[in-house]
Amino acid sequence: MAVNRDKPNRWNADMAQSVDLYNNWFMTFAPQAFHDTRIQVTEVVAAALRTTDNLQNLQPQILQQNPQILATLRMCTCPPLARDRLIGLAAVSKSLVERLEKGRLPTRLKAEQLSEELGKITTLISRLVDRDIFTWLTTDQSPTEAERYRAATIIADRLCGASTDPIVRNAQEMRQLQEIAVWLNAHHYRELPAGQRVRFTEMPPGTYSFRLNVPVNLTTEGEKTINIPIDAVIMRQTAHPGDFPVLVEAKSAGDFTNVNKRKKEEAQKMRQLRATYGEQIEFVLFLCGYFDSSYLGYEAAEGIDWVWEAPD
């Protein structure tokens, strides 16, 4: 039995209420979420400055020992360097830069070649470093604590500004999962302990889990499988042996453009789930924000239902 996908006459009114809910949340809580993240990122930047002796000792071996600081170093230049711009200017490989920013070193480069590649990066950053921010580099003196904190704050703002959408999206997703937990707990469901390994088909009735991996087949023979992360997996209290839990994907959006770019993601998940487990598998969206009739119609055509988040 469908909840919303077979009721297009209600879509526009539901969408309007959802947009209002998202906008009210954004105006109230998004600035705080950004502020909290900026404080954390400022500490990361300060640590990178200590590691490089306040950018006065930016050597290849420093980057080799601390590859994760590269993202911070890119924001220390004038102008700040996007990842692809760094790759082009330094003439290094994309895979090298991506691995460094994940905190890992390449495994196939010999030590001499790695040092040479890292030297290209550090030479470029040293040449382009923003001396209006790192003023002590023009005087060849150690910075004061106030100067160092000011610089760290500016670079943190640059880092956060480059990832504003993910910061807001992650905060919204956490809030949505908390809303789901509140509702389930009020209806006497029990969350499985975090970290407990459990097959989604073997969850006890009346339990739920967040961010659980569900395996799906990549081939019809089932020889190759991948794990699909599901935001919330809920086994009904009335479930019988062999029943599947309800799979819930929390979705929020602050504009109409991005959701229509991403609308095929859920459809692909649904196809993989049905191909693996059959038509009885339930995959439901928990929506908050800008989801227009184009998005909803596409999901409905794929057999995907949804529940709107309701205001308190």
189 falls within a domain: yes
Phi-psi label, residue 283: left if phi above 0, alpha if psi -120 to 50, beta otherwise: beta
- Can you give the pLDDT at residue 194? 75
> Which residues, given as ranges, of the chain have pLDDT below 70?
1, 162-165, 195, 220-222, 312
- Can you give the pLDDT at residue 162? 65
Of the three residues 108, 143, 163, the one that is the final residue of a domain is: 163
Comparing C-alpha atoms, which of 223, 224, 228 is closest to residue 212? 228
Vertex 229 angle, CA 226 and 235, to 5°: 110
CB within 8 Å of 159: residues ≥ 6 apart: 41, 44, 45, 71, 72, 75
Q: Which domain holds residue 262?
A: 8-31+165-308
Of the three residues 132, 163, 194, the one that is the final residue of a domain is: 163
Of the three residues 130, 163, 196, the one that is the final residue of a domain is: 163
Phi, psi of 33 (to 5 degrees): -60, -45
User: Is there a single domain that holds both residue 173 and residue 304?
Assistant: yes
